[in-house]
């Protein structure tokens, strides 16, 4: 007897069908058994998947509610700070990371905006004509913050030198309009372990 | 008896397919993430060292601003080759499970010298040597932190090595089990399921790619630093491609072997003359 | 019939809008409330409240997200009470069961809501839903040598995931 091999379509189709069956069973098991875990872990990973946007935003202010209705984009300039006594005129950026501080004055994001009736915290380096001169400020000296939604005037109340870790000196409150300027202290070379703070108050709105 | 055989074939065939899927997946991870040469090649591809060098320089410059010193003190502190050397050594130590201390003495010495030269040139008196030393230490630590990814490399090395061992063990075990199961299927249960196993595992891999992997927004991953994020993005995209290629290969091999196995022996009676 | 139907649709729409608005303000109330935990009163610092309020102002939080986050806040408070701990100022010193539970809650909110945040170097960057940066949280006082003032859990976790998991001690109950 001769033995010949013939291609069996039926066998081929059966094998392919079995393959589909196994794959489908696997998919069903994964879907019903592990779907919630898969969704959770992919969502967690996607929390750090950021489609960055650099849209510019117009800042707007509600005079009645004394609240910003549209905030500046983080990292952008939204104001100028002017102190005529020490011949200071600097841009103010929203945010205070090291990159921002290399360009001007940084506004701490966890503080209020001018006009909102709370504490506003501005940081600046103590050299290059930034905040080195605020060490010369005294009581009743005027500080003006010019924003796109209005100009705000503050009067210096006091200055203070604190340790860099003394957070109580930077307490944010919502009772009155307060402007805190701070810079590294003392002047000179090296790492500074203190901060020089200027406290100013005001509720003028033009 | 035949019903039991059919059920057994089904179970073993399914288990074998899943094992093949797991084997393919572990192998992809092994040749990518757990392959030191591949990782170093990827780092080159995304210009990782150049980016880290820029990030370190920028961070040092920003931190220097409050020190009262000029940018010139940061001149020639380190080169891109230093970054390459230290990064490669660190990665080597991760894969070998050993500890690597980034040596920053050279950096400190150069910075001390630059500061001394700058101070004497500009007649600046140091009123607080501790403050200056602290500044030097901060600057030097920036280099160390950036290379070591702010401690993430150190914190996750042990876990990484442990998982690597599991992957290696997993590959060996799955291959071993696949061979055993295929042998049982062929010689005990009389079924040539190689094509079935390959085809179904290829489909499973395709499902994994399209349903699970595609849900990750790979292109926009942003973590720790821009340089590291770019590397991770490239790695994930590569793994994505490997999964696709592997699934296609498995699918074609599956079809091929199914065709081979579908050739049935046909007995022909010899003509009686 | 048409008028009645139209009226019903308008009411439903109004209710939907109201529910979303209520849920956001409910969430804000929850985030900014005072809590008595194991005899100690806790409240978010004003600074963290500013961040939380601003985040909710700038980003549309769906009612389901707001309700979900609010429920996780309740779970966090409950876990903190059950732990018996009184000092929550250092996350690393919390009982490990509590740390695990709080981390899980943070992950729950991160995976179930549309909040976007990422860890970069030694800070956390939170993004608005439109992809712009909301804030970089790396401590209040800049250019410090230490991380003592890096109130990581409170600022980061509250704003990142809206989960009230750690606050500064305001005052102890008498």
Q: What is the pLDDT of residues B99-138, one digit of tens each?
A: 888 899 999 999 999 999 999 998 888 888 888 999 999 9
Residues on chain C touching B150 (C-beta within 8 angstroms) = 121-122
3-state secondary structure of C124: strand
Please tell me the predicted confidence (pLDDT) of residue B271: 52
Is any Cβ of chain C less than 8 angstroms from the Cβ of A52?
Answer: yes
CA distances from B170 to A128, B166, B175, B180, B212 (A): 60, 6, 8, 15, 21
Condensed to tens digits (0 to 9), the pLDDT of residues B1-32 reads 588 888 998 999 999 999 999 999 999 999 99
The answer, yes or no, to whether residue B174 has pLDDT greater than 50, is yes
* Cβ neighbour number for residue A82 with a 10 Å cutoff: 16
Beta-carbon-side half-sphere exposure of residue A61 (alpha carbons within 13 Å):
18
**In chain C, how many domains are there?**
1
pTM for the complete prediction? 0.82
Which tops the pLDDT comparison, C68 or B75? B75
Q: Are the C-beta atoms of B52 and B241 separated by less than 8 Å?
A: no
- Helix intervals (H) in chain C: 2-32, 46-58, 63-83, 96-112, 158-161
Same domain flag for A72 and A30 = no
- Out of B63, B146, B224, name the one closest to residue C119 (CB): B224
Confidence at A25, pLDDT banded by 50, 70, 90: very high
pLDDT surpassing 80 at residue A54: no
Token code pair at residue B187: 């010689």
Domain residues for the domain of A120 are 60-201
CA distances from B74 to B69, B84, C170 (A): 10, 19, 44
Instruction: Write out chain A residues lying below 8 Å of C133, CB-based.
Output: 52, 73-75, 95
pLDDT above 90: residue C90: no
- Cα–Cα distance for residue pair C81/C66, rounded to 1 Å: 23
The pLDDT of residue A120: 96
Is the pLDDT at C81 greater than 90? The verdict is no
Shortest Cα–Cα distance, B34 to chain C (Å): 24
**In which element (H, E) is residue B86 found?**
helix B80-96
Q: What's the CATH number where A132 sits?
A: 2.40.260.10
Inform me whether the pLDDT recorded for A90 exceeds 90: yes
- Residue B3 has a pLDDT of 85
The answer, yes or no, to whether residue B210 has pLDDT greater than 70, is: yes
Same domain, A151 and A170: yes
> In terms of CA atoms, which chain C residue is nearest residue B146?
C121
Say which residues have a Cβ less than 8 Å from residue C78's Cβ, sequence separation at least 6: none
Q: Is residue B106 part of a domain?
A: yes
Record: contact C50-A191, CB cut-off 8 A: no
Neighbours of B220 (CB within 10 A): 16
Is pLDDT above 80 for C93? no
Model pLDDT for residues C102-111, shown as the tens digit of each residue: 777 777 877 7
Q: Per-residue confidence at B266, pLDDT binned at 50, 70, 90?
A: low
Per-residue pLDDT averaged across A151-180, rounded? 92
Quickly state the pLDDT bin for A129 (edges 50, 70, 90): confident
Residue C1: which pLDDT band, with cuts at 50, 70 and 90? very low
> Is residue A111 domain-shared with residue A171, that is, in the same domain?
yes
pLDDT at residue B72 above 80? Answer: yes
Which structural domain, as residue segments, surrounds residue B78?
Answer: 48-153
The domain total for chain B is 1
Regarding whether A86 and A30 lie in a shared domain, the answer is no
pLDDT tens, A94-106? 999 888 999 999 9
State the pLDDT at residue C159: 38
Could you confirm whether A184 is annotated as catalytic?
yes
DSSP B151: G
Predicted confidence at residue C124, as pLDDT, reads 76
Probe site for chain C from A47, A71, A95, A177 (most C CB atoms < 10 A)? A47
Q: Tens digit of pLDDT for each residue in B179-196? A: 999 999 888 887 778 999
- Mean pLDDT for C94-123 is 77
Among A12-21, B127-136, B196-205, C129-138, whose mean pLDDT is lowest? Answer: C129-138
A3 — pLDDT class (breaks 50, 70, 90): low
pLDDT at residue C37, rounded to an integer: 81
Most B CBs within 10 Å, among C121, C126, C129, to test the B interface: C121
> Mean pLDDT over residues B127-154, rounded?
88
* Residues above pLDDT 90, as percent of chain B: 63
Please state, in angstroms and rounded to a whole number, the distance separating the CA atoms of residues C160 and A48.
Answer: 11
C45 SS3 class: coil
| Residue B138 and residue A184 in contact, taking contact as beta carbons nearer than 8 Å | no
Least confident span in A123-137, B210-224, C11-25:
C11-25
pLDDT at B272: 52
Contact (CB, 8 A) for A185 and B63: no
Shared-domain flag, residues A92 and A24:
no
Q: Which two tokens stand for residue A33?
A: 């058994």
Residue A206 placed within a domain: no
- Which residues in chain C touch residue A119, judged by CB atoms under 8 angstroms apart? 46
pLDDT computed for residue C13 by the predictor: 44
pLDDT at residue B37 in the model: 95
The average confidence (pLDDT) of chain B is 90
State the total domains in chain A.
2
Inter-CA distances, B212 with A80, B222, C107, Å: 50, 20, 19
- Both tokens of residue B204? 């499973």
Residue A196 in any domain: the answer is yes
Inter-chain CB proximity B223 and C143 less than 8 Å:
no
Q: What percent of chain B has pLDDT over 70?
A: 96
Quote the distance between the C-alpha of residue A173 and its chain's center: 19
Strand order from edge to edge, sheet including C116-120: C116-120, C123-127, C133-137
Report which of A103, A90, A102 is spatially closest to residue A181, judged by C-alpha positions: A90
User: How many Å lie between the alpha carbon of A101 and the closest alpha carbon of chain C?
Assistant: 9
Looking at the structure, tell me whether residues A86 and A45 fall in a common domain. Answer: no
Q: Please identify which residue in the block is written with the tokens 């950026």.
A: A93
Question: Is residue A47 very low, low, confident or very high in pLDDT (cuts 50, 70, 90)?
Answer: confident
Residue of B68, B193, B259 lying closest to A190 (CB–CB): B68
- Cβ distance C145 to B150 less than 8 Å, yes or no, reads no
In a domain, B97, yes or no: yes
Pairing of strands A119-123, A105-107: antiparallel
C-alpha to C-alpha distance for B270 and A1, rounded to whole angstroms: 5
| Same domain (yes/no): A31, A68 | no
B66 to chain C, any CB pair closer than 8 A? The answer is yes
What mean pLDDT is reported for chain A?
89
Q: How confident is the model at residue A127 (pLDDT cuts 50, 70, 90)?
A: confident
Taking residues C10-17, what's their average pLDDT? 43
Q: Residue B234: is its pLDDT beyond 90?
A: yes
SS3 label, residue B192: coil
Note the pLDDT of residue B254.
95
Which residues 126-165 of B are in CB contact (within 8 Å) with C? 134, 138, 145-146, 150
Is the peptide bond preceding residue A186 cis, with omega within 30 degrees of 0? yes
Same domain, A109 and A194: yes
The per-residue pLDDT for range C49-65, each reduced to its tens digit, is: 888 888 888 887 777 87
For residues A16 and A83, membership in a common domain is answered with no
Q: What is the mean pLDDT of residues B159-171?
A: 93
| B53-67, B85-99, B149-163, C76-90: segment of lowest average pLDDT | C76-90
Considering only residues C112 and A180, tell me which one the structure prediction assigns the higher pLDDT: A180
Residue from the list B138, B150, B223 with its beta carbon closest to the beta carbon of C122: B150
In DSSP terms, B248 is beta-bridged to none
What count of other Cβ atoms lies within 10 Å of the Cβ of residue C34? Answer: 11
Residue with the bigger pLDDT between A40 and B136: it is: B136
Query: What is residue C89's predicted lDDT score, i.e. its pLDDT?
Result: 64
Provide the total of helices (H) and of strands (E) in chain B, helices listed first: 9, 1
Per the annotation, the verdict on A2 as an active-site residue is no
Asked if residue B254 is part of any domain, the answer here is: no
Residue B168 to residue B239: CA distance in whole angstroms: 18
Nearest chain A alpha carbon to B22:
A26
State the residue range of the domain holding C20: 2-172
Q: Are residues A129 and A152 in the same domain?
A: yes
B-C CB pairs within 8 A amount to: 19
């Amino acid at each position: 007897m001769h033995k010949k091999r013939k291609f069996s379509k039926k066998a081929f189709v059966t094998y392919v069908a079995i393959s589909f069956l196994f794959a489908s069973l696997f998919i069903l098991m994964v879907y019903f058994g592990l779907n919630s875990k898969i969704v959770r872990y992919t969502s967690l990973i996607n929390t750090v998947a950021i489609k960055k946007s650099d849209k510019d935003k117009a800042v707007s202010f509600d005079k009645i509610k004394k609240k910003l209705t549209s905030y500046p984009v983080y990292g952008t300039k939204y104001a100028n700070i002017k102190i005529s006594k020490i011949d200071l005129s600097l841009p103010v950026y929203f945010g205070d990371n090291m990159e921002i501080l290399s360009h001007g004055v940084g506004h701490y994001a966890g503080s209020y905006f001018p006009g909102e009736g709370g504490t506003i915290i501005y940081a600046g380096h103590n050299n290059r004509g930034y905040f080195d001169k605020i060490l010369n400020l005294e009581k009743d000296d005027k500080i003006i913050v010019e924003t796109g939604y209005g100009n705000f005037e503050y009067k210096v109340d006091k200055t203070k030198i604190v340790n860099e870790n003394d957070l109580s000196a930077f307490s944010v409150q919502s009772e009155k309009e307060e402007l805190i300027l701070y810079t590294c202290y003392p002047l000179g070379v090296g790492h500074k372990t203190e901060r020089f703070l200027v406290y100013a108050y005001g509720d003028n709105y033009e | 008896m035949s019903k039991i055989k059919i059920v057994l074939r089904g179970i073993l065939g399914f288990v074998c397919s899943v094992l093949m899927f797991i084997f393919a997946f572990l192998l992809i991870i092994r040749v990518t993430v757990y392959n030191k040469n591949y990782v170093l090649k990827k780092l080159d591809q995304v210009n990782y060292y150049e980016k880290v060098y820029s990030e370190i320089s920028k961070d040092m410059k920003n931190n220097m601003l409050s020190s009262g010193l000029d940018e010139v003190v940061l001149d020639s502190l380190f080169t891109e080759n230093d970054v390459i050397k230290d990064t490669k050594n660190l990665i080597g130590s991760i894969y070998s499970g050993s500890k690597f201390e980034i040596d920053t003495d050279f950096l400190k010495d150069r910075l001390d010298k630059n500061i001394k030269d700058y101070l004497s040139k500009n007649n600046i008196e140091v009123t607080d040597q501790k403050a200056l030393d602290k500044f030097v230490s901060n600057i030097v630590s920036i280099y160390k932190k950036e290379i070591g990814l702010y401690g993430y490399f150190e914190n996750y090395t042990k876990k990484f090595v442990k998982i690597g061992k599991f992957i290696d063990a997993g590959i060996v075990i799955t291959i071993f089990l696949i061979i055993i199961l295929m042998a049982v299927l062929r010689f005990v249960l009389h079924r040539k399921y190689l094509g079935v196993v390959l085809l179904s595992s290829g489909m499973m891999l395709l499902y994994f790619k399209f349903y699970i992997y595609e849900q990750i927004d790979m292109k926009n991953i942003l973590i720790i630093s821009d340089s590291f994020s770019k590397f991770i993005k490239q790695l994930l995209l590569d793994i994505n491609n490997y999964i696709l290629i592997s699934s296609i290969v498995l699918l074609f091999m599956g079809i091929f072997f199914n065709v081979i196995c579908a050739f049935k022996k046909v007995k022909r009676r010899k003509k009686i003359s | 019939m048409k008028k009645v139907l139209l009226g019903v649709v308008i009411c439903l729409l109004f209710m939907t809008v109201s529910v979303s608005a209520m849920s956001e303000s409910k969430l804000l109330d929850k985030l900014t409330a005072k809590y008595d935990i194991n005899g100690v009163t806790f409240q978010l610092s004003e600074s963290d409240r500013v961040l939380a309020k601003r985040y909710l102002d700038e980003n549309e939080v769906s009612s389901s997200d707001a309700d979900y986050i609010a429920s996780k806040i309740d779970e966090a408070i409950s876990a903190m009470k059950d732990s018996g701990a009184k000092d929550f100022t250092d996350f690393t010193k919390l009982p490990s069961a509590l740390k695990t539970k709080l981390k899980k809650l943070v992950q729950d909110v991160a995976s179930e809501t549309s909040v976007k945040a990422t860890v970069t170097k030694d800070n956390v960057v939170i993004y608005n839903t439109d992809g712009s940066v909301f804030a970089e949280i790396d401590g209040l006082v800049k250019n410090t040598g230490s991380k003592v003032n890096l109130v990581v859990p409170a600022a980061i976790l509250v704003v990142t995931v809206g989960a009230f998991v750690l606050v500064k001690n305001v005052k102890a109950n008498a």
